[in-house]
């Protein structure tokens, strides 16, 4: 017994960090990736350290915090934060994660996969970053390019205060999630980067995206089939392809989207503003969609419904109905300010109200196009006389 006590005393002198580390983890349920072998120099592979830290946090029970510390850069080949967990987890994401280049990629579909979790919070405190190294992929548009963040089957999720840049493909995707809030997210990829959507939402409900700045080579936000009750608020978009519902009905799919509310957003130099796009041959519906209080700065297509997406032959398509465009103000750089190009099924119950969209070119002509579009326009510039009741 005396020899054991002597051994413990010696160990405490030669390895005080071990004692402090154990005490820190067990008392505070805080798990820092540095304590699990991460180097944080941006070059050494820290993948396994992230995995070990996550396993400890996930299995801890109660409340636990996974720390990705500031002023460190972590090179990882893939990150899988999977549940279910015994803990309710906060990821304190204040460092930087760097993705491998194309030649070093290991074949995963996403750099960071987060799945089967309830009540997860990720907070970057304005410091957390992810760099996707996408420039090594963009010159290969037909490659199976990966995305950065993928959230699957996460409920009551909160993600905030992160900067995400240069994704090879989509920056953030959410699938089969219920109750998720994304706020104060900065997304930054150049206009020429292919398919780099800011957010892809699919088969998810009660989703909020707010107070964020998105620059991308594709949709700033794409809301896809199976999505309901999605709120998009105080977003700046551009460059990018706008805030889109769809595309819906690809590969003859039955896609359903409803109760989408986009409010107080700004589009600057984007290809589109408010877009609904469907593919002929599909079925389902897109309904109860509102775009309201929208600022336009040199947007190519401010308001567009495109049911002839990819120029396929005209066939019945996803039914578009109960769509409101209210309070659009600003400039555009195309000839057609409002394009409502609907399939033979028609777009029903379209409302344009209190809009003022003018050409960025002094004296530039402004046109409106409707095909199979039904609804009402009031107090709108340019005048929309092509809608039928």
Which residues are annotated as catalytic? 241
Q: Phi, psi (5° rounding) for residue 280?
A: -55, 145
Question: Is-contact 374 388, C-beta < 8 A?
Answer: yes
Residue 334, token pair as written in the block? 């195309």
Sign of CA dihedral 235, 240, 244, 250: negative
Burial of 54: CB neighbours in 10 Å, binned 0-12, 13-18, 19+: buried
* Nearest Cα to Cα of residue 158 among 110, 127, 118: 118
Q: For 379-387, which contacts have Cβ atoms below 8 Å and span 24 or more sequence positions?
A: 379/353, 379/354, 379/355, 380/352, 380/353, 380/354, 380/355, 380/356, 381/355, 381/356, 381/357, 382/337, 382/338, 382/357, 384/338, 384/352, 386/340, 387/340, 387/350, 387/352
* Strands 121-131 vs 96-98: parallel, antiparallel or unpaired: parallel
Q: What is the DSSP letter of 5?
A: H
Distances (CA, A) of 141 to 144, 244, 257, 362: 8, 21, 28, 38
Integer angstrom CA distances of residue 295 from 220, 271, 357: 15, 14, 9
Cα end-to-end distance, the chain, whole Å: 93
State how far the Cα of 204 lies from the Cα of 258, in Å rounded to an integer. Answer: 11
Closest by alpha carbon to 198, among 216, 181, 180? 216
Rounded alpha-carbon distances, angstroms, from residue 329 to 22, 134, 296, 358: 59, 34, 6, 8
């Amino acid at each position: 017994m005396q020899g054991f006590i002597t051994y413990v005393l010696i160990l405490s002198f030669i390895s005080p960090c071990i004692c402090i580390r154990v005490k820190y983890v067990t008392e505070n349920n805080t798990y820092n990736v540095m304590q699990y072998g991460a180097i944080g120099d941006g070059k050494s592979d820290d993948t396994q350290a992230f995995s070990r830290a996550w396993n400890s946090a996930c299995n801890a029970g109660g409340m636990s915090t996974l720390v990705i510390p500031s002023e460190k850069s972590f090179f990882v080949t893939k990150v899988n934060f999977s549940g279910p967990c015994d803990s309710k987890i906060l990821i304190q994401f204040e460092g930087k994660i760097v993705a491998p280049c194309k030649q070093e990629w290991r074949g995963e579909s996403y750099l960071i996969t987060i799945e089967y979790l309830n009540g997860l919070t990720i907070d970057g405190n304005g410091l957390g970053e992810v760099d996707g190294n996408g420039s090594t992929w963009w010159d290969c548009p037909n490659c199976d390019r990966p995305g950065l963040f993928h959230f699957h089957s996460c409920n009551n999720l909160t993600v905030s205060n992160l900067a995400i840049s240069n994704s090879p493909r989509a920056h953030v995707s959410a699938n089969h999630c219920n109750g998720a809030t994304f706020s104060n997210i900065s997304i930054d990829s150049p206009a020429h980067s292919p398919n780099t959507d800011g957010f892809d939402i699919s088969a998810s409900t009660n989703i909020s995206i707010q107070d964020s700045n998105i620059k991308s080579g594709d949709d700033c936000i794409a809301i896809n089939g199976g999505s309901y009750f999605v709120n998009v608020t105080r977003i700046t978009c551009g460059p990018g392809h706008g805030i889109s519902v769809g595309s819906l009905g690809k590969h003859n799919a039955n896609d359903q989207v409803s109760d989408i509310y986009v409010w107080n957003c700004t589009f600057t130099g984007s290809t589109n503003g408010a877009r609904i796009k469907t593919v002929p041959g599909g079925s389902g519906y897109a309904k109860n969609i509102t775009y309201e209080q929208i600022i336009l700065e040199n947007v190519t297509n401010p308001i567009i419904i495109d049911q002839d997406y990819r120029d396929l032959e005209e066939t019945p398509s996803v039914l578009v109905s109960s769509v409101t465009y209210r309070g659009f103000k600003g400039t555009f750089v195309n000839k057609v300010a409002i394009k409502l190009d609907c399939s033979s099924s028609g777009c029903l119950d379209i409302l344009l109200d209190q809009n003022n969209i003018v050409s960025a070119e002094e004296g530039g002509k402004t046109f409106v196009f409707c095909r199979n579009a039904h609804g009402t326009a009031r107090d709108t510039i340019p005048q929309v006389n092509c809608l039928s009741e």
